[in-house]
Amino acid sequence: MPPTSPPARPHFLRERALMRAGVWPVAGVDEAGRGPLAGPVAAAAVILDPEKLPRGLADSKVLTAAEREELYDIILSRALAVAVGFSPAGEIDRINIRQATLTAMCRALHALPVRASHALVDGNDFPQRFHCPGETIIKGDATSMSIAAASIIAKVTRDRLMRRMHAAYPQYGFSAHMGYATRAHRDAISVHGQCAIHRLSFAPFKPMPLFEQAP
């Protein structure tokens, strides 16, 4: 049996090609938290320094929590600019998760202290309200270092927020599942009802009364 090749790591080739074409700065944009039943969707925008690229970048989903935390600090120390945007549960219910995700991406890109000239966005849905042109890259968090960095920043930021939410709503166990639809989370909902950070437009909340109020 021939040896298997190691999994591909994100690279900086697309960013360097844009630099050679005179397009710079280039921001990677990605989100975390589209699927959970609770909490905001978070998006991050990152402009990496071509001279100080962090080692070990990868799609946040294939990294351990400890690896993400370590890379989070490295990215913040080496990147030219980092920003995060959110769309909270109430806004998700009002405009739907797709629009809320695009809104969070816009907020992150527009919050960068360095104005991006081009955006690389994970997936196939490009926000129309970006102030710069750009492109989508399917599985971009696995191929673009800028998008991978944004993926890590968004995931770590959102996970930290959900751990803080655990202090306000300990009965749901948010620090363990970050609001995803795990069995433990659904069991807690069946006992305690929904709380103020649940996404009421997601099943199974629509038919349920609001038992918890915001702290």
Backbone dihedral region of 211: left (phi > 0), alpha (psi from -120 to 50 degrees) or beta? alpha
Mean pLDDT to the nearest integer, 76-103: 98
Does the residue 169 lie in any domain?
no
Length of the chain: 215
Lowest-pLDDT choice from 6-20, 61-75, 91-105, 171-185:
6-20
Q: Kindly report the average pLDDT of the chain as a whole number.
A: 92
> Domain for residue 22, yes or no?
yes
Contacts with 14 (C-beta within 8 Å, 6 or more apart), sequence order: 26, 120, 137, 144
Tens-digit pLDDT profile for residues 90-131: 999 999 999 999 999 999 999 999 999 999 999 999 999 999
Residue 193 domain flag: no
pLDDT of 8 > 80? The answer is: no
Residue 178 lies in a domain: no
How many domains are contained in the chain? Answer: 1
The residues pairing with 81 across neighbouring beta strands, listed in sequence order, are: 47
Reply yes or no on whether the pLDDT at 70 is more than 70.
yes
Rounded mean pLDDT, 21-38: 98
Distance CA 39, CA 56 (A): 28
Which CATH number fits the domain that encloses residue 38?
3.30.420.10
Q: Does residue 209 have a pLDDT over 80?
A: no
What pLDDT does 68 receive? 97
- Confirm whether 210 is domain-assigned: no
Give the model's confidence band at 207: pLDDT under 50 very low, under 70 low, under 90 confident, else very high.
low
Report the pLDDT value the prediction gives residue 204, as an integer from 0 to 100: 77
Q: Residue 3's pLDDT band (boundaries 50, 70, 90)?
A: very low
Domain membership flag for residue 156: yes
CB atoms within 10 A of CB 194: 22
> What's the gap between Cα 197 and its chain centre?
18
Residue-range definition of the domain harbouring residue 88 = 13-164
49 contacts 138 by C-beta, under 8 angstroms: no
Contact between 139 and 29 (Cβ < 8 Å): no
**pLDDT confidence of 7, banded at 50, 70, 90?**
low
- 51 pLDDT exceeds 50? yes
Is 185 among the domain residues?
no
Instruction: Quote the DSSP letter at residue 198.
Output: B
Helix (H) or strand (E) holding 30: strand 26-32
**Is 167 buried (19+), middle (13-18) or exposed (0-12) by CB count in 10 A?**
exposed
